[in-house]
Amino acid sequence: MDVIKTYLDNVFAAFPQTEKLRALKGEMLAGMEEKYHALKNEGKSENEAIGGVIANFGRVSFGGIDEHIQTLYIISKERFMAVSTVNISFQTELLGQIDRVAQSEARTRSELIREAARIYIERKNRWASIFAYGESLAAKYQISEEDVNEEIRKHREEKK
């Protein structure tokens, strides 16, 4: 039975672990366990029963899979709320590179571009905070940009 639970946990691993998802997993696990016991009662071995349950995963016999898919859609929508579609123009060569990287990582083009945008924004924010820190130190110690340039010039002179 742990194999079935582990299988189900892996299927839902990518989704946010909300109350709705836990309830859905519980429902599906109950249906899968019921199917497992039915197969065991038919004389199947434990491995055959587990294999039968997993092979039939997603079929209507587990309580109306359409209803489960609809629930997953709602859970996904809650996670990603307010998604907007945009059109972006790329040079053909760059788009080819994007597609090759996405394919090599088994991702969609959109996933790759979203990650690139997140990384860019994080890096930009990190640099903004570094510059803000530098500016606060300069104000605290009353150091000007000219003072910094002069110190750099002196250092370079000493190294010659």
Contact 102, 108 (CB under 8 A): yes
User: Is the pTM higher than 0.85?
Assistant: no
Do 11 and 73 share a structural domain?
yes
Do 104 and 55 share a structural domain?
no
Nearest to 27 by CA among 76, 67, 56: 67
Each residue's pLDDT tens digit, 119-156: 999 999 999 999 999 999 999 999 999 999 999 999 99
19 domain residue, yes or no: yes
Q: Look at the block and give the residue holding tokens 């530098």.
A: 134
Residue that terminates a domain, selected from 18, 45, 80: 80
Do 105 and 44 share a structural domain?
no
Residue that terminates a domain, selected from 36, 56, 80: 80
Do 96 and 74 share a structural domain?
no
85 domain residue, yes or no: no
List C-alpha distances in Å: 4 to 11, 44, 54, 86, 129: 11, 16, 7, 40, 48
Residue 104 lies in domain:
92-159
What's the domain count of the chain? 2
3-state SS assignment for residue 135: helix
Query: How deeply is 77 buried, as exposed, middle or buried, from its count of CB atoms within 10 A (0-12, 13-18, 19+)?
Result: exposed
Do 43 and 103 share a structural domain?
no
CA angle 126, 130, 136 (to 5 degrees): 140
* Confidence at residue 69, expressed as pLDDT on a 0 to 100 scale: 58
